[in-house]
Amino acid sequence: MQENIQNGKFGGKMARCKKCNVEILDDTDRCPLCNLILEKNDTPISNLYPIDAIEITRRFRVFSNILLFLSIVLQTFCFWLDYSINGRKIMWSIIVGMVVVYVNVILRLTIMGKSGYLFKIVGIFFIALGMCVCSDFVMGYKGWSLEYVFPIVILVLDLIIVILMLANRRNWQSYIMIQLFQVVLGVVLVTLGVFGEIKWVVLINVSTAVSIFLFLGTVIIGDKRAKTELKRRFHI
């Protein structure tokens, strides 16, 4: 590759990413690693973004587009078959459709998505949660999605947040907003329980209490850094 650069095979100016500290040989104005705006650089260096990685990304994009097309064909066939057998009482084709959507979204979110790992983790959890709630309603709504799945997901996410904060101690305050979102979600569930929309509320109350204490502990122990992060997020 260095010989090609020296011989001018890749042309004159190359783009440089300040954040990743790499030279980009592809004809693009954004870094394929971090999506930062690139700046032109006439001086080649040895730390080059590999062309193979760019090609792999393109192949994944082609693969995801093919999968999306096949998913549409599959869901159309399942819907037609379900309607032919059950008439307007359609059930299993909707569940198949949710699984198809989930696979496509997860593929694009985890492989093609350019968001941070925390957003991807939370996104995967809540997409799966949404599928469980939809499945519960499609099958006649027994309440298991809100009474069991929702609070379990909240507790698991609380545990993941604690682990990430310990692993990323220099930037632990960046997890405050997801903690606050967990608290709001828990309060909504508790409110539904108070109005009788959810029958078994023990697990919901426990998960909400854990989220509230985690948030309060972060704000109180974090002191100035936590308060500064909240002020920055809410533009106070």
pLDDT at 205 over 90: yes
Residue 220 makes CB contacts below 8 A (sequence gap 6+) with 226
Per-residue confidence band for 3, with pLDDT thresholds at 50, 70 and 90? very low
Question: Residue 38 has what DSSP assignment?
Answer: P
The enclosing H or E element of 41 equals: strand 39-41
pLDDT at 39 over 80: no
The per-residue pLDDT of the chain, averaged, comes to: 78
Most confident of 16-25, 51-60, 212-221: 212-221
Neighbouring C-beta atoms of residue 230, cutoff 10 Å = 16
pLDDT for 187: 92
Contact present, 19 and 36 (Cβ < 8 Å)? yes
pLDDT at 145 over 80: yes
pLDDT at 134 over 70: yes
Per-residue confidence band for 58, with pLDDT thresholds at 50, 70 and 90? confident
pLDDT for 107: 78
Higher pLDDT, 115 or 64: 64
Residue 99 makes CB contacts below 8 A (sequence gap 6+) with 131
pLDDT for 106: 78
pLDDT at 51 over 60: no
Name residue 29's amino acid.
Answer: D
